[in-house]
Chains A and B, each alone.
Chain A
Amino acid sequence: MAMNKLRKAYSYIADESVLIFIIMAFSIMMSVVSPYFLKSSNLMNIVQYISVAGITSIGMTMVILTGGINLSVGGTLALSAWVSAYSMLNGTPWYLAVLISLTIGAAVGAINGLAVTVIRIPPLIATLALEQITRGLQLVLSKGKPLHGFPKEFLFVGAGQIFGIPMSVIWVAVLFVIFGIFLSKTRMGRSIYAVGGNPEATKIAGINNSKVIMFVYMTAGVLASFAGIILIARMDSAPTAIAASLDMQAITACVIGGASVTCGGKGRVFGTFLGIIIMGLIQNSLDLLNVSAYYQQFIQGIIIFLAVSMDAFRNARAGKNNTFWKKAKFKEQLL
């Protein structure tokens, strides 16, 4: 009985067991190499890194599952965070400011979704344009000046603690669990997998693909702006150059976690969670080992390149076995 439960538990993490092993090995290695690694203040650093990029990467996972990509998360975060900061400093109650921020996130997501479903722009280009638009808009509005001095209640959202547990840890845990359940147990969650796995078949089965894709981009927008709330609440400041390369961090976390950018319908939020932890550990150990910030971008680039190569390689191998004798008859009209 107990054995059975154990086996069941293992089968749940079987796909990700390599990642868990990497995290453990990495942690042990770092705790040997650096005396600071296991200090609570350092672990706090990791958690903070994980919280912003992690919450964003939940949305990114869903977008990637539908076979898309979202490069506009950084801009979404920057714009929505700045507007909410500005409105707070001008007397709007903090909870309304949060609502405004989330609404902006949803709106940017909706534009992404419309661009992809109605205008049919490839997601890569559509979201790249939205990244420029949102970043630019934030610069225009802020005129390059940072904002700070937010209400206490607002700061609690990002920097507070409940029973000694930092709020960012709580948010990350709660959101990952909610979206993990959402993706595996609900109709919309499963539709996301179906649309990514074979959009044409899903359409024929009577599912509204556009609705699913709209939902995914809007949720990704909301999550990005929520990550922004946590970020500015923690720093008590909304700088203009905020969340640089957030898109890359989120995508890397997804890909390390097993989501596939070369074909949709593959990946899990749990994998992304482990992916973001690995990213956090790498980032943190580079800091602890005094690697210059100039190198860090370089190293991050290498990591995402390797992760995506692995993904492409896996798919190519799977594809070789599946499509080799495929019964797909050649289409005369295509030739």
Chain B
Amino acid sequence: MDNVILEMRNITKSFSDNVVLNDVNFELRKGEVHALVGANGAGKSTLVKILNGIYTANSGEIFIEGKKANIRHSSDAEKHGIAFVHQELNICPDLNVAENIYVGNLVKSKLGFFDSKSTIKKAQDLIDMIQVDMKSTEKVRNLRAAEKQIIEILKALTTNAKILVLDEPTSSLNEKEKVIFTGIVNKLKSQGVSILFITHFLDDVLLLSDRVTVIKDGVNNGIFNAKEITKDILIDAMIGKSVIKCCNSRQDTKEDAKTILELQDLSSSNKFNNVNLKIKQGNIVGVCGLLGAGKTELARAIYGLDKFDSGKILLYGKPVKKVSPMIMMKKKVALVTEDRKIDGFVPLLSIRENSTLSIMDRLCSNFGFINRKQQNSVAEELSKSVSVKKSSIEQKVVHLSGGNQQKVIIARCFASKPKLFILDEPTRGVDVYAKSEIYCILSEMAAQGVAIVIFSSELDELIDVCDEILVLKKGQITESIKTINFDKNKLLAMIS
């Protein structure tokens, strides 16, 4: 087949005993958009890292335009016309668009000085080529998320890439920005660029791609034509069994349920304003809003990570005088933060130590010695109860996949037996199956009387799981909804 631009044949990769990819075949056709999906830890990132030369496959071959390619470094990939756009954006906010696009190879004048004029002109040509409404002289700081994403893509295009690899390109985009992004992908496609993209958002897969390859447990579990399938078929191929719908048999909250958390006129300048809310025992409350609506800020303020200006936080009916993580932990509050890599876990410590980090006091005998036997059994039990996929509890958390890292953090909070459990974007970057597992754990906790607050922008998930959803808009709670049979689009209209 001469219209295949990239072919990865019989790729096998293992890390010591752990086989991550087993005889995987993958092909990308000229000018197609091909999505690569799979559950966390299925091996899709590994496959892409092999393509980028970060890992070397144990066996298997890569062909580019029919010729065998030997990719050992990132620079090899570039030489073969493969460009990567990573999920995190590498941009300099104080440079203009043109300078950001050409940051690696700025145009120089004859004297060796930076030629700002022709850099700007070259960049503008590039922007016009994909027909986006953007000025190359604009400061990047003033741009929106989607536009920054576009700059990253343009940057990749300056290397004359024939193959563009996008990692989770839509995760930071809102619904409107996704439309712009879709347009660009289609334009690139029409210019003959082949695009491979990795994502957890199955809706985007169906919307954007021509074909989909599903990786499951290190093997290629099927190639589909995106036009002919539904989300359920994809999930089936990724997971192998239908996702357990959460046990939705929650009863209505009893009238006499105690109020666990109450916020009275909580305000923090530029972040949120006069937030009032009450959360009762056994309730799951969702707080939704767009990026920048103040969700994370509010969650952090309640737990004492950031200060607030005025207002009161009441726990179990009593005002908390000094709010700090230590005190909140003592008062049986637990928090899962938004960004697990930054403040979620201690990467070099094991599952055992991370999951018992909050309860070391309880595992200590005299003189502060940790009772290792007890710690082992507690950690085993914890990781079983949240079903962490692991080879042993001594595995370092840094080596786990994203979903499993999140489960370890939840296990740590679970261990501290919270009465109030705050979660900020608990399912970001987590695959569908792990998502439903996480929500099942939360539902179970709620059934046992724990009050749960979920800050999230995943509207479907909130509607499925929560008893009540609060809408946060520009730092203010504008709406409160009972979720039974509530429509997503209505909610979407409310937040934006």
Task: Decide if B395 is an interface residue (CB 8 Å cutoff).
Answer: no
Chain B's closest residue to A334 (CB) is: B93
Task: Decide if B103 is an interface residue (CB 8 Å cutoff).
Answer: no
CA of A218 to CA of B360, assembled, Å = 22
User: Which segment of A280-288, A304-312, A317-325 sits at the interface?
Assistant: A317-325
Whether A198 contacts B89 in the complex (CB less than 8 A), given A193-B349, A205-B412, A206-B330, comes out as no
Least Cβ distance of A230 to chain B in Å? 26
- Residues of chain B in range 148-205 having any CB-CB distance to chain A below 8 Å: 148, 167-168, 171-172
Least Cβ distance of B168 to chain A in Å? 8
| Chain A residues with CB under 8 A of B416 | 206
B428 lies within 8 A of A188 (CB): no
Task: Decide if B370 is an interface residue (CB 8 Å cutoff).
Answer: yes
B325 lies within 8 A of A206 (CB): yes
CA of A194 to CA of B292, assembled, Å = 31
Whether A266 contacts B360 in the complex (CB less than 8 A), given A185-B370, A321-B54, A322-B398, comes out as no
CA of A295 to CA of B93, assembled, Å = 48
Task: Decide if A6 is an interface residue (CB 8 Å cutoff).
Answer: no
Task: Decide if A15 is an interface residue (CB 8 Å cutoff).
Answer: no
Interface size class of A (residues with CB under 8 A): 35 or more
B428 lies within 8 A of A327 (CB): yes
| Chain A residues with CB under 8 A of B342 | 200, 328
Whether A186 contacts B370 in the complex (CB less than 8 A), given A201-B346, A332-B292, comes out as yes
Chain B's closest residue to A324 (CB) is: B54
A320 lies within 8 A of B89 (CB): no
- Identify which of B328, B337, B346, B358 gathers the most chain A CB atoms within 10 Å of its CB: B346
Contact with A along B285-299 (1 / 0, CB 8 A): 000000110000000
Contacting residue for B325 out of A188, A204, A324, A335, CB 8 A: A204
CA of A27 to CA of B349, assembled, Å = 35
A201 lies within 8 A of B345 (CB): yes
Task: Decide if B361 is an interface residue (CB 8 Å cutoff).
Answer: yes
| Chain A residues with CB under 8 A of B337 | 204
Task: Decide if B45 is an interface residue (CB 8 Å cutoff).
Answer: yes
Task: Decide if A314 is an interface residue (CB 8 Å cutoff).
Answer: no
- Residues of chain A in range 157-213 having any CB-CB distance to chain B below 8 Å: 185-188, 190-191, 193-194, 197-198, 200-208
Task: Decide if A21 is an interface residue (CB 8 Å cutoff).
Answer: no
B87 lies within 8 A of A327 (CB): yes
| Chain B residues with CB under 8 A of A327 | 87, 168, 340-341, 402, 428-429
- Residues of chain B in range 313-341 having any CB-CB distance to chain A below 8 Å: 325-326, 328-330, 335, 337, 339-341
Chain A's closest residue to B335 (CB) is: A204
Least Cβ distance of B337 to chain A in Å? 6
Least Cβ distance of B79 to chain A in Å? 19
| Chain B residues with CB under 8 A of A120 | none
Contact with A along B114-147 (1 / 0, CB 8 A): 0000000000000000000000000011000100
CA of A326 to CA of B339, assembled, Å = 10
| Chain A residues with CB under 8 A of B168 | 327
Contact with A along B430-466 (1 / 0, CB 8 A): 0000000000000000000000000000000000000
- Identify which of A208, A323, A333 gathers the most chain B CB atoms within 10 Å of its CB: A333
| Chain B residues with CB under 8 A of A328 | 87-88, 339, 341-342
CA of A198 to CA of B346, assembled, Å = 5
- Identify which of B88, B337, B363 gathers the most chain A CB atoms within 10 Å of its CB: B88
Whether A204 contacts B343 in the complex (CB less than 8 A), given A265-B348, A335-B93, comes out as yes
Contacting residue for B369 out of A185, A201, A202, A326, CB 8 A: A185
- Residues of chain B in range 68-119 having any CB-CB distance to chain A below 8 Å: 86-89, 91, 93
A324 lies within 8 A of B49 (CB): yes
Interface size class of B (residues with CB under 8 A): 35 or more
| Chain B residues with CB under 8 A of A298 | none
Task: Decide if A330 is an interface residue (CB 8 Å cutoff).
Answer: yes
A201 lies within 8 A of B344 (CB): yes
B88 lies within 8 A of A330 (CB): yes
Least Cβ distance of A251 to chain B in Å? 20
Task: Decide if A39 is an interface residue (CB 8 Å cutoff).
Answer: no
Whether A205 contacts B358 in the complex (CB less than 8 A), given A186-B369, A327-B341, A329-B172, comes out as yes
| Chain B residues with CB under 8 A of A205 | 329, 357-358, 412
B49 lies within 8 A of A194 (CB): no
| Chain A residues with CB under 8 A of B45 | 325
B172 lies within 8 A of A330 (CB): yes
| Chain A residues with CB under 8 A of B49 | 324-325
CA of A3 to CA of B357, assembled, Å = 34
B349 lies within 8 A of A197 (CB): yes
Whether A190 contacts B145 in the complex (CB less than 8 A), given A204-B325, A204-B335, A265-B346, comes out as no
- Residues of chain B in range 270-292 having any CB-CB distance to chain A below 8 Å: 291-292
| Chain B residues with CB under 8 A of A323 | 341
Chain B's closest residue to A208 (CB) is: B326
CA of A72 to CA of B357, assembled, Å = 31
CA of A70 to CA of B48, assembled, Å = 43
A200 lies within 8 A of B343 (CB): yes
Least Cβ distance of A240 to chain B in Å? 40
B370 lies within 8 A of A190 (CB): yes
Task: Decide if B247 is an interface residue (CB 8 Å cutoff).
Answer: no
| Chain B residues with CB under 8 A of A193 | 346, 348-349, 353
A202 lies within 8 A of B368 (CB): no
Task: Decide if B364 is an interface residue (CB 8 Å cutoff).
Answer: yes
| Chain B residues with CB under 8 A of A322 | 347, 398
B428 lies within 8 A of A201 (CB): no
A194 lies within 8 A of B353 (CB): yes
| Chain A residues with CB under 8 A of B347 | 197-198, 322
CA of A70 to CA of B482, assembled, Å = 56
- Identify which of A190, A265, A266 gathers the most chain B CB atoms within 10 Å of its CB: A190
A325 lies within 8 A of B360 (CB): no
Task: Decide if B305 is an interface residue (CB 8 Å cutoff).
Answer: yes
A326 lies within 8 A of B341 (CB): yes
- Identify which of A207, A265, A327 gathers the most chain B CB atoms within 10 Å of its CB: A327
Least Cβ distance of A271 to chain B in Å? 14
Chosen A-B contacts, 26 in total, with CB atoms closer than 8 Å, are A187-B369, A187-B370, A188-B368, A193-B346, A194-B349, A197-B349, A198-B347, A200-B343, A201-B344, A204-B343, A205-B358, A206-B330, A207-B358, A322-B347, A324-B49, A326-B88, A326-B341, A327-B428, A327-B429, A328-B87, A329-B87, A329-B172, A329-B339, A332-B291, A335-B93, A335-B148
8 additional contacts, CB 8 Å, given A328-B342, A330-B172? Answer: A197-B347, A203-B305, A205-B357, A205-B358, A325-B45, A326-B88, A328-B87, A329-B88
